[in-house]
Amino acid sequence: MPAISREEVAGLAKLARLSVTEAELDTFAGQLDVILQSVARVGEIATAEIPPTSHAVPLTNVFREDVVRPGLTQEQALSGAPKSEDGRFRVPRILGEEA
């Protein structure tokens, strides 16, 4: 007996706001049944001796340490700008924006 019925598929489609045909209900019911059986089979294989993992290999952080370093002051950052105004970069307006 299938694990999921046409009516359940129709209910799921309604919740997801999907429009499905009668033929698709049969197709999706069969496909979802195969998926549910596969997931159940994986659950049967898992044993207490095997710890759950999120990755097959251990992850290591490849990034450098996050160390605070001195940066530019506002004046230094704006010193190379073609235009500045009120302590900010001044750029041309685009897309017809209004101030």
3-state class of 89 per DSSP? strand
- Could you tell me the pLDDT band of residue 99, with boundaries at 50, 70 and 90? low
Confidence tier at 1 by pLDDT (50, 70, 90): low
Residue type at position 52: P
Residue 10 neighbours by CB under 8 Å, 6+ apart = 20, 25
At 84 the three-state DSSP class reads strand
Cβ pair 1, 26 in contact under 8 A: no
pLDDT single digits (tens) 24-56: 998 999 999 999 899 888 878 767 777 777 888
Q: How far apart are CA 62 and CA 58, in angstroms?
A: 12
Average pLDDT over residues 67-72: 93
Amino acid found at 14: K
DSSP letter, residue 96: T
CATH 1.10.20 fits 6-45, yes or no: yes
Q: What is the mean pLDDT of residues 74-84?
A: 93
The per-residue pLDDT for 86 is 93
Domain boundaries, the chain: 6-45
Collapsed DSSP state (helix, strand, coil) of residue 85: strand
**What is residue 98's three-state secondary structure?**
coil
Q: Per-residue pLDDT for 90 more than 90?
A: yes
**What confidence category does residue 76 fall into, taking pLDDT thresholds of 50, 70 and 90?**
very high
